[in-house]
Amino acid sequence: MNQVKEIKEGNKLVYSKVFEEYHLKLYQYIYKYTQSAYYAEETVQLSFVKLWEKREGLSEQYDISTQLFRIAKSTLIDLLRKEKIRDTQALSDTFISAPREEERLLHKEQLQYVLSAIEELPAQSRQVFELSRLGDLSHKEISQKLSISPKTIEGHISKALKYLRKNLTALF
């Protein structure tokens, strides 16, 4: 059974099975990067909504998990950008005193530092790093997508990790 084809055709039963199969996996994947239950749950919910709403645009070349995780990555980035704007406005008006809220903000701030550090990488290294670490693509998939050798991929990732460790050590 081709799950992508079935979902594209509007099969709600297959969509429900995909939801059951990937909800927890996707949650854990997002939580691993954000350390935030709020962002993980919000991203997962929005990702499944987008999967259904944009089902006609799914590619049958890729399996459903690949496409779902890509949707989740872009959804998380969008969510963080929107939240950054809202939080900046909210913090200028109020002080937050609840420990959970402070913890959430700390995690969010740390994630923003990481994302900012990633943005500072040279364009090619950043693209390779994002595809590998955030897009969950293999070196071979990245190599094919960008038309560069796997050794070059390894070099970009190694340089990116070295840069991130150097610049984020004090933060963590």
Residue 91 has pLDDT above 50, yes or no: no
Q: Which domains does the chain carry?
A: 1-96 (1.10.1740.10)
- Using CA atoms, how far apart are residues 165 and 75, in angstroms rounded to an integer? 26
Provide the mean pLDDT of the chain. Answer: 83
Contact 22, 82 (CB under 8 A): no
Q: How many CB atoms lie within 10 A of CB 75?
A: 21
What are the tens digits of pLDDT across the range 38-68? 889 999 999 999 999 999 999 988 889 889 9
